[in-house]
Amino acid sequence: MEISILVTVKNDLENTKLLISTLKSLDKDFEIVVVDAYSTDGTFEYLQSETKDINLVLGRKKGNRAIGRNECIKLAQGKKFVFLDSDTEITNSWAATLKRSMNRDIVAGRIVQTPNSKWSDLERVPMLYMGKDVTFPSNNLMYSRAVIEKIGTFDEAFNTAEDIDLNIRAIKSGFEIFYDENLIVSHHPRETYSSLLRQSYSDGIGRRLILKKYGLKSNFNKTNLKKHPLIETSRLAFGMLGYVFGGSN
């Protein structure tokens, strides 16, 4: 098996159906590994019904995203691991573009937000380690099995920002993260203002965990502030609340 697509999910039935529908176009070089965190909305039962039609390996594991992704890695057979979120859809050219980068250790692709909200064009808040961007999320992100075997799997003490931690360890070990803007997935952003702020709070927790482990601080995204001053200021405020008060790590 060449490529394992790794997905964790909990209670995301409709988005999971959309993702699986796009993954059905993949050839025999791909396997799909999904670990469900004991969904109660029918997601797991739907996935069970799809195992006859596609090369789908299905597991269940309680815990945070790092625990779920590590379970995916245990179940996977591929030489390359591609992490996708359940609220993502691959594009028609995605598989062919990915295969052109099979000689690389780590590849991060572009995530295009489905334009259904006024903040769809918000960009990531930058964080640099050794001069390299380490904020590529574990969505549309490919890691070679050999890299994971060298640097280790996701740190399960991280209930958020586990992908930033993994990227930092990769850079620290001498690997490069290659960004391919032509490797594109569509992502469904959070549709409500409250859900956006909850995510910002969680991001703040993650940035504090990164500071504690590496002494690495976040920066502001000036572009976001110019485009959406009120929304980005709110995100920064809730991120700071999570940074100061959130979590127990």
Indicate which CATH number applies to the domain containing 50: 3.90.550.10
What average pLDDT does range 2-10 have in this prediction? 97
% of the chain beyond a pLDDT of 90: 66
What's the pLDDT band for 249 if we cut at 50, 70, 90? very low
> For the chain, what is the domain count?
1
Q: What is the DSSP letter of 211?
A: H
Give the domain range for residue 20.
3-191
Asked, for residue 210, whether it belongs to a domain, the answer is no
pLDDT at residue 140 greater than cutoff 80: yes
By CB atoms closer than 10 A (0-12, 13-18, 19+), residue 34 is: buried
pLDDT in tens, 16-49: 999 999 999 999 999 999 999 999 999 999 999 9
Asked, for residue 156, whether it belongs to a domain, the answer is yes
What's the pLDDT band for 216 if we cut at 50, 70, 90? confident
Q: Looking at residue 196, what is its pLDDT?
A: 65
Sequential DSSP letters for 69-111: HHHHHHH---SEEEEEETTEEE-TTHHHHHHTTTTSSEEEEEE
Asked, for residue 227, whether it belongs to a domain, the answer is no
Asked, for residue 23, whether it belongs to a domain, the answer is yes
